[in-house]
Chain A
Amino acid sequence: MRKQTTYLICGLLLLLAACETIDCTLYNTVGLKARFYSQGAAVSITDTLTISACGTDSVLLNRAVSASDVTLPMSFWQAADTFLLRVEGDGYVLADTLCVQKTNTPHFESPDCPSTMFHQITAVSCSRTFIDSVVIVQPSVNFSQFENIQIHLRSGD
């Protein structure tokens, strides 16, 4: 009886020896990934590029040089986001707007991790100052680091 009691107690103690880990994903940034193209080939913008979100005072990208791709945060609740892209070169300034229409879906990993919003791009449009066209490559905007849209620049810009 004594031995039986001993191994019953051993079992109870082992059951109490539980441990807990927090498993949040490492890539927890959700953003629209856009890459620049000219004449079908990926390029970088040699001039200074600044991107801001219309309707806010936030500058998303400040005076970047040689930017080949950008990751832009998207609004949680709006049906469309408009971004202002401004290129400054020697003696000139060009500005374009990029409008992204989307649906929003809340997403969570665990109570211990920050919750966020995933998006599905439904349409894109732009004013055509230095941008020629915009193509949707991967409409799902989530934790994956895939390219979502291609921004084709006018040739010669």
Chain B
Amino acid sequence: MKIFRFIFAAAISTLLSLTCGAREYNGPLISDEAPLFGGVAVSADLVGFSMKAIGGKFANMEVSGRLNFMEKYFPLVELGIGECDKEGGDNSNKFHTRAPYFRIGADYNFNRKFNGNRFFGGLRYGFTSYEYDFDNPTFQDAVWKTQDPLHLHGLNGRNQWLELAIGVETKLWSIVRLGWSLRYRMKLRQKVSEMGEPWYVPGFGKNGTTTFGGTVNLTFDVGKSAKSNKKKK
């Protein structure tokens, strides 16, 4: 129920903002002004790096690159490193993993106005191959009373998933953009050790059939789009 509230609030806040902005706009439309190829942009997700900096349980630290076609279509690639160190709340269990992940997909910009702001939806395919560790230093047999630490290291996992994204982005200054996106991730395939599933999957988040995530992207236009943005400024 909390998840539905979360999505509902996000969607409403986004739509309201865009609707309010629509009444004030008298500028050019994308269909009239946008070039066929609008350039390249690179970005970094500030959430992942922030979570790492404040010592969060897990962090997806990622960068991405995307192309811009007609200010509407944005094929993109996202590369990152997912890291997790999780300890059990009431026991001495420890889970650890750190591995790269990849996503490929595209965004579509729903904003018809050529004003530098974007409201986009997108689809991504994600993949990761990783190793994970599980430790229980106080692993004890209750009847035979033998205690032998459990150190399961280098367990292999592979995941593939689909990701739906919605988000907004605005031009802050010249070639600098800031935006956020919400992600809904759906597991396609998972191969893990028979000893146990990972608590966290790099790039996917907490292991499960579906999960939510989000990014806050600081984006820089480079190449052709950077030049056009400077001219507009």
Q: Mark A95-119, 1 if CB is under 8 A from B, else 0.
A: 0000000000111111111110100
Say whether chain B's binding surface is mostly helix, strand, loop, or mixed.
Answer: mixed
CB of B61 to closest CB in A, whole Å: 16
User: Which residue numbers of A lie inside 8 Å of B, CB to CB?
Assistant: 3-4, 6-8, 10-12, 14-15, 17-20, 22, 53, 55-56, 58, 60, 73, 75-78, 105-115, 117
Specify which of B6, B14, B139 is in contact with A76 (CB 8 Å cutoff): B139
- In contact, A3 and B20 (Cβ under 8 angstroms): yes
With contact pairs A12-B216, A76-B139 given, residues A7 and B168 touching in the complex (Cβ less than 8 Å)? yes
- In contact, A115 and B141 (Cβ under 8 angstroms): no
CA–CA, A11 and B179, complex, Å = 9
| Most chain B CB within a 10 A radius of its CB, from A4, A12, A75 | A4
CB of A121 to closest CB in B, whole Å: 17
A-B contacts, 30 of them at CB < 8 A, read A3-B17, A4-B17, A4-B21, A4-B117, A8-B170, A8-B178, A8-B180, A10-B17, A11-B10, A11-B14, A11-B182, A12-B216, A14-B182, A15-B47, A17-B6, A53-B143, A56-B144, A58-B143, A77-B146, A105-B194, A106-B150, A108-B136, A108-B150, A108-B196, A110-B93, A111-B95, A112-B90, A115-B134, A115-B136, A115-B196
Q: Mark B141-184, 1 if CB is under 8 A from A, else 0.
A: 11111101010100000000000000110100000001110100
- In contact, B141 and A12 (Cβ under 8 angstroms): no
CB of A75 to closest CB in B, whole Å: 4
Number of A-B contacts (CB under 8 A): 119
CB of A127 to closest CB in B, whole Å: 21
B55 in contact (CB, < 8 A): no
Q: Closest B residue to A19 by CB, please name it.
A: B2
Q: Which of the segments B26-34, B68-76, B81-89, B120-128 contacts the partner chain?
A: B81-89
CA–CA, A112 and B206, complex, Å = 13
Top-10 shortest CB links A-B:
A108-B196, A7-B17, A11-B180, A15-B214, A76-B141, A111-B88, A111-B93, A10-B13, A75-B144, A4-B170
Q: In the complex, which residues of chain A have a beta carbon less than 8 angstroms from the beta carbon of B6? A: 14, 17
